[in-house]
Amino acid sequence: MAAQHAQTLNRPQRSWDVHLLHSFAFRQELSGKWEAEREAIASVARLKEEMERVAIEAQTAEREADLGHAAELRCGFWRALLRAALLRAAKS
């Protein structure tokens, strides 16, 4: 009788162990997704800051009548951005 009682007590514990393992795995999966999304958002924020910096620098060059430099900034930035995006797509 005591052995049967011990087996009965162990059954819920085993199901809780499995539940905890599944919960832990699910938590790790969500944590990984969250980290990837957080990095993507940070990457977009860095890109926006760089775009604003280039736009301000190009406006300054235009005001100083350095139109060649302004065009170089505007076109060069987008060309480099496109090149980086194509390289990332090729790696994926």
pLDDT at 10: 53
At 25-84, the pLDDT tens digits run 888 999 999 999 999 899 889 888 988 998 899 999 999 999 999 988 888 888 888 888
Q: Which two three-digit tokens encode residue 50?
A: 């760089």
Domain count, the chain: 1
pLDDT at 81: 82
Q: Which two three-digit tokens encode residue 49?
A: 């800051």
pLDDT at 13: 58
| Whether pLDDT at 2 is above 50 | no
Q: What is the pTM of this model?
A: 0.58
Q: Which two three-digit tokens encode residue 74?
A: 């505007």
User: Which domain range does residue 64 map to?
Assistant: 2-91
Tell me, rounded to whole angstroms, the distance of Cα 35 from its chain centroid. Answer: 6
Q: Which two three-digit tokens encode residue 53?
A: 């910096």
> H-type helices in the chain, by residue range?
2-63, 67-91
